[in-house]
Amino acid sequence: MGEMKRKSYGTIFFPVSILILSTFFWDKPISFFIAISVLTFADPAASVIGSKSNNHFHPWIDKKSVEGSIAMFCTSFLLIAIGTDVMARLYSANFYLPFHILIGLAIFAALSSTISEMLSCKGSDNLSVPLITFFTYEIFLINYTHNTLLHLLIWFALSVFIFSIAKKYHSLSLSGALGGFLIGILIFGSGGWKLIFPLVFFFISSSLLSFSKHKSPSQRDVIQILANGGIPTFFALSYFFFPHQNFLLGFLGSLSASTADTWATEIGFLSKQRPYLIFTSKQVDKGISGSISLIGSIGSIIGATAMGVISLYIFDLNLFLAILIVFSGFFGSFIDTLLGRYLQGKFFCASCNNTKEDDYGCCGKTILKSGFRWVNNNTVNFLSSLSSGVAIILINLVYG
């Protein structure tokens, strides 16, 4: 028996993906079958062929191969194209897809599943591949039946350009660009131009603020993209499959929090004074989590307000809901600061006598000084986005 080369949680992720799909989408048997088939056959094909290749690259953590990715795409394409036609006949569908639409569907979903496999690590493809395949498959079909498929394909091409530029100018790493591309496809497919515009505003405004200072490009990776965009994507998909205003508010509220927090950080760097740790009079270096400044707080309010104004006009919301979006954004930014101050791990590097916010300093292993080792900036961003989305829904349920 061969030696296990890396830790994998695939046996945990697989039943989770089955549970999610069977619980919420049991009434979509063809999409369910396609998603599980891609995981069952295409993913192993990529693994087997990739193990024999010497042409490797690192899209994120795990090493991938060009041949394995090609095998993943080709196998997924065949499974989706043939499986769709066979299952449609098995279930006596009311209509059959035209050949060119079937091919487009297979390319669209197969490419998305291949990207999700490329970004997987430690067996996470057992969760990401079936979910991404299912959602992109459904999104393509529903946009086709609603005559909005051309818009989806235009965004597909446009997003390739946007994220290629972001990768070129080091605003995103390769994994960040691929992850952002998938999130953009899911959100646009869920609500078209209206739903994607707030996300584009957040991404472009944050990137411009970062480039406006003498500061190294952030090169955000896929985890940083998911920390800010994961919750909005969840609410967008929920709004797509189960249309309800609260899911739309959750999307806008969580995105408002990400915008407010990012603007607070980027604008805060313009302050001539060092920020203060929240609820203390202790000054710390700029960028330390849990710190606040007057100009940074103003930036947070402006960012949340901008998202509220955009939402007011794009979605034709009433003034109360727009104010809720502004409040939830500032609330999420405040939660981010609290979590960064009291829960986020901070580490001391004895070699260079500096405090770090990760467990590896520039000179070697660091020592936990405060907070929890497993709570990093991405965890904090994710929780603040989640808290904002939940808060705006609860407030609307009580007072709306």
* Domains: count for the chain: 1
Q: How far is CA 57 from the centre of its chain?
A: 22
Query: Residue 4: what pLDDT?
Result: 37
Give the structural domain span for 47.
Answer: 9-147
Query: Residue 361: what pLDDT?
Result: 54
Question: Does residue 125 fall inside a structural domain?
Answer: yes
Question: Does residue 62 fall inside a structural domain?
Answer: yes
Question: Does residue 352 fall inside a structural domain?
Answer: no
- Match 């609290």 to its residue by tokens: 338
19 CB neighbour count, 10 Å cutoff: 10
Question: Does residue 244 fall inside a structural domain?
Answer: no
pLDDT digits (tens, 9 = 90+) for 290-332: 999 999 999 999 999 999 999 999 999 999 999 999 999 999 9
Query: Residue 2: what pLDDT?
Result: 35
Query: Residue 1: what pLDDT?
Result: 31
Query: How much is the pTM?
Result: 0.94
Question: Does residue 262 fall inside a structural domain?
Answer: no
Query: Residue 212: what pLDDT?
Result: 67
pLDDT digits (tens, 9 = 90+) for 207-240: 888 776 656 667 889 999 999 999 999 999 999 9
Three-state SS string over the chain comes to CCCCCCCCCHHHHHHHHHHHHHHHCCCCHHHHHHHHHHHHHHHHHHHHHHHCCCCEECCCCCCEEHHHHHHHHHHHHHHHHHHHHHHHHHCCCCCCCCHHHHHHHHHHHHHHHHHHHHCCCCCCHHHHHHHHHHHHHHHHHHHHHCCCHHHHHHHHHHHHHHHHHHHHCCCECHHHHHHHHHHHHHHHHHHHHHHHHHHHHHHHHHHHHHHCCCCCCCCECHHHHHHHHHHHHHHHHHHHHCCCHHHHHHHHHHHHHHHHHHHHHHHHCCCCCCCEECCCCCECCCCCCCEECHHHHHHHHHHHHHHHHHHHHHCCCCHHHHHHHHHHHHHHHHHHHHHHHHCECEEEECCCCEEECCCEECCEECEEEECECCCCHHHHHHHHHHHHHHHHHHHHHHHC
Question: Does residue 81 fall inside a structural domain?
Answer: yes
* Ranges of residues in the chain whose predicted pLDDT is under 70: 1-7, 212-217, 359-364
Query: Residue 231: what pLDDT?
Result: 98
Question: Does residue 213 fall inside a structural domain?
Answer: no
Query: Residue 3: what pLDDT?
Result: 36
CA–CA distance, 274 with 43 (Å, rounded to integer): 50
